[in-house]
Amino acid sequence: MTTSPPGAASDKLGRDVFIVAGVVVLGAIMSILDVTVVAVAQPTFITEFDTSAAGAAWSMTGYTLALAAVIPAASWAASRFGTKRVYMASLVLFLIGSVLCAMAWNIGSLVAFRVIQGFGGGLLMPIGMMIMTRAAGPERVGSVMAVLGIPMLLGPIMGPILGGWLIEIASWHWVFLINIPFGVVALVYAFYALPSGDEEPGKKIDVIGLLMLSPGLALFLFGVSSSAEEQTFLAVRVLVPMIIGALLIIAFIWHAFRTTNPLLDLRLFRNPTLRTAVITMSMFAIAFFGASLLYPQYFIIVRGETTLMAGLLLAPQGIGAMLTMPIAGKMTDKIGPGKFVLAGLVLIAIGVSAFITLDTDTSYWFLCAALFVQGLGMGMTMMPIMSASLATLRGSEIPDGSTLMNAIQQTASSIGTAVITVIFTTMLLPLSRAIMQAGGDPERVGKAMAENGVDVTNPQAVQAAGGDVISDIASTYGNTFIIATVLVALTVIPAFFLPRKKMVVAGDDENSVPVTMH
Which ranges of 170-205 does DSSP label H, i.e. alpha helix?
174-177, 179-193
| Mean pLDDT of all residues in 280-305 | 84
Residue 504 lies in a domain: no
pLDDT tens for each residue of 58-93: 888 888 888 888 888 888 888 888 888 999 999 999
Asked if residue 140 and residue 268 are part of one domain, the reply reads: yes
CB half-sphere exposure, 281, CA atoms < 13 A: 27
Asked if residue 39 and residue 155 are part of one domain, the reply reads: yes
Q: How far is CA 372 from CA 167, 314, 343, 384, in A?
A: 27, 9, 15, 19
Asked if residue 490 and residue 347 are part of one domain, the reply reads: yes
Of the candidates 148, 134, 136, which has an alpha carbon nearest to the alpha carbon of residue 8?
136
| Mean pLDDT of all residues in 120-126 | 86
Q: Which of 115-124, 142-151, 231-240 has the weakest average pLDDT?
A: 142-151
Residue 400 lies in a domain: yes
Indicate if the pLDDT at residue 309 is higher than 60: yes
pLDDT tens for each residue of 237-246: 899 999 999 9
Report the alpha-carbon distance of residue 395 to residue 509 in Å, rounded.
8
Asked if residue 331 and residue 468 are part of one domain, the reply reads: yes
Asked if residue 373 and residue 234 are part of one domain, the reply reads: no
Q: Which of 145-149, 169-173, 353-357, 365-369 has the weakest average pLDDT?
A: 145-149
Angle between helices 53-70 and 207-230 (to 10 degrees): 160
Q: How far is CA 318 from CA 21, 45, 153, 286, 290, in A?
A: 20, 28, 6, 19, 17
Cβ atoms of residues 355 and 477 within 8 Å? yes
Indicate if the pLDDT at residue 1 is higher than 90: no
pLDDT at 506: 46
Residue 61 lies in a domain: yes
Report the alpha-carbon distance of residue 31 to residue 155 in Å, rounded.
9
| Mean pLDDT of all residues in 163-171 | 81
Indicate if the pLDDT at residue 260 is higher than 70: yes
The last residue of one of the domains, among 262, 282, 307, is 262
Residue 361 lies in a domain: yes
Q: How far apart are the first and last CA of the chain?
A: 22
| Mean pLDDT of all residues in 183-198 | 85
Report the alpha-carbon distance of residue 168 to residue 162 in Å, rounded.
10
* Percentage with pLDDT > 90 across the chain: 21
Report the alpha-carbon distance of residue 111 to residue 391 in Å, rounded.
39
| Mean pLDDT of all residues in 187-191 | 90
What number of helices (H) and strands (E) belong to the chain? 23, 0
Asked if residue 243 and residue 185 are part of one domain, the reply reads: no
Residue 211 lies in a domain: yes
Average pLDDT, the chain: 79
Q: What is the pTM of this model?
A: 0.79
Indicate if the pLDDT at residue 377 is higher than 60: yes
| Mean pLDDT of all residues in 494-513 | 64
Domain that holds residue 172: 15-205+263-495
pLDDT at 365: 95
Residue 442 lies in a domain: yes
Indicate if the pLDDT at residue 154 is higher than 80: no
Tell me the pLDDT band of 464, cut-offs 50, 70 and 90: low
pLDDT tens for each residue of 107-116: 899 999 999 9
**What phi and psi, each to the nearest 5 degrees, are found at residue 49?**
-100, 5
pLDDT at 98: 93
Indicate if the pLDDT at residue 453 is higher than 50: no
Cβ atoms of residues 339 and 332 within 8 Å? no
pLDDT at 456: 47
Asked if residue 233 and residue 182 are part of one domain, the reply reads: no
Residue 56 lies in a domain: yes
pLDDT at 459: 64
Asked if residue 232 and residue 138 are part of one domain, the reply reads: no
pLDDT at 262: 85
pLDDT at 12: 61
Asked if residue 196 and residue 216 are part of one domain, the reply reads: no
Tell me the pLDDT band of 234, cut-offs 50, 70 and 90: confident
SS3 at position 341: helix
Cβ atoms of residues 386 and 450 within 8 Å? no
Asked if residue 361 and residue 451 are part of one domain, the reply reads: yes
Report the alpha-carbon distance of residue 293 to residue 197 in Å, rounded.
41
CB half-sphere exposure, 175, CA atoms < 13 A: 29
Indicate if the pLDDT at residue 438 is higher than 70: no
Tell me the pLDDT band of 509, cut-offs 50, 70 and 90: very low
Asked if residue 212 and residue 192 are part of one domain, the reply reads: no
| Mean pLDDT of all residues in 218-223 | 89
Asked if residue 373 and residue 227 are part of one domain, the reply reads: no
* Percentage with pLDDT > 70 across the chain: 79
Q: What is the domain count for the chain?
A: 2
Report the alpha-carbon distance of residue 318 to residue 299 in Å, rounded.
17
- With vertex at residue 341, the alpha carbon angle to CA 336 and CA 344, rounded to the nearest 5 degrees, is 140
Identify the residue with better confidence: 418 or 465: 418
Greatest mean pLDDT among 24-28, 184-188, 444-448: 184-188
pLDDT tens for each residue of 382-420: 778 877 776 666 666 777 777 777 788 888 888 888 888
Cβ atoms of residues 421 and 292 within 8 Å? no
Q: Which of 66-75, 169-178, 419-428 has the weakest average pLDDT?
A: 419-428
Cβ atoms of residues 235 and 200 within 8 Å? no
Report the alpha-carbon distance of residue 400 to residue 76 in Å, rounded.
8
Residue 217 lies in a domain: yes
CATH number at residue 166: 1.20.1250.20
